[in-house]
Structure 1
Amino acid sequence: MRQSWRFIETVLGIIFRHPIVGTSIIPILPDGRIVLVQRRDNQKWGLPGGMVDWGQDIPTTVKRELVEETGLELSKIRRLVGVYSAPNRDPRIHSICVLVEAEVEGTMENKDILEIIAVEAFDLSSLPKSNLSHDHERQLQDYLDGKTTIA
């Protein structure tokens, strides 16, 4: 019985004491504008993205999250911008975020009304950098600075 409990404790520790993996996307429209989403939970702007589902890889997650949150289709992932793993980067949970730059196409549409208030495209000069959710200000600045970051 004691051995069984240790096994259960170990499994629960693996499930609940390890970071969740997710992705953020810097969607670039053909005209060069960057697409952001306004989150319902804190009303702040942020990069689209979300958690990697069981059995999915990062490219599949990027494609799924783009459609779910922006209505846009992935044309191609241009580059890995960074991996962000600070325990306090997301106020909800400890998560590891893989940030990619992606070419996108299609028509913007909020398809996730439970999580997203608005979807909007911004010129580089009009990005709402001081009102971004989570650590997206840092992620976006690393992208704009041309960095590849492991943090």
Structure 2
Amino acid sequence: MRWLWHFFQNVLGVVLRHPVTGTSVIAILPDEKIVLIRRRDNGLWGLPGGIVDWGEDLPTAIARELFEETGLELAKIRRLVGVYSAPDRDPRMHSICIVVEVEARGTMQVTDPLEVMDVQAFWREQLPEGRLSHDHRQQLQDYFAGLTTVA
């Protein structure tokens, strides 16, 4: 019985002391507008995205999170924008965020009102500067600069 307790302590230590993997999606509509969601937890605008589920690959997580938060379908993954891993980038937990640019299609709608208050598309010049959640401002700056960032 003691070995079982030791095993669970080791497993919990590994699980609880490691960053969570997630994704942010820079969703581009056919008219080149960028889709943002207004988060219910802090009222700020942000990129759609979330945690990669156990047993899920990244493209599946990207498509799922995009649809769950915006109602849009993934048409194509264009490029990797970056990997962001600063321990304080997400105020809730230490997470590693993989940011991708995608082409999206469909009709925008709030499909998860517990997480999302609003979903809108913005021209680059109209992004809600100063009202972006987490490190999404940096992610968008890197995207606009054409960078692939590891930070």
TM-score scaled by length of structure 2: 0.97
CA distance in 1, matches of 2:67, 2:43: 20
1:23 corresponding residue in structure 2:
23
1:55 corresponding residue in structure 2:
55
1:34 corresponding residue in structure 2:
34
Q: Secondary structure at the match of 1:24?
A: strand
Answer with 3-12 or 79-88: which moved more. 3-12
Shift of 1:120: 0.2
CA distance in 2, matches of 1:2, 1:73: 49
Unaligned runs of 5+ in 1: none
1:46 corresponding residue in structure 2:
46
Unaligned runs of 5+ in 2: none
Which string of whole-angstrom CA distances, capped at 9 and with x for unpartnered residues, describes residues 9-35 of structure 1? 211111111000000000000000000
The equivalences for 1:57-96 within 5 A come to: 57-96=57-96
1:120 corresponding residue in structure 2:
120
CA distance in 1, matches of 2:24, 2:150: 14
Count of residue pairs the alignment pairs up: 151
Identity within the alignment, %: 64
For 1:136, the aligned partner's letter is H
1:134 corresponding residue in structure 2:
134
Shift of 1:5: 3.7
1:106 corresponding residue in structure 2:
106
CA distance in 2, matches of 1:38, 1:24: 14
CA distance in 2, matches of 1:107, 1:2: 55
For 1:94, the aligned partner's letter is H
TM-score scaled by length of structure 1: 0.97
Q: Secondary structure at the match of 1:68?
A: helix
CA distance in 1, matches of 2:99, 2:41: 21
CA distance in 1, matches of 2:147, 2:36: 20
2:12 corresponding residue in structure 1:
12
For 2:99, the aligned partner's letter is L
Which string of whole-angstrom CA distances, capped at 9 and with x for unpartnered residues, describes residues 69-118 of structure 1? 00000000000000001110000000000000000001000001000000
1:148 corresponding residue in structure 2:
148
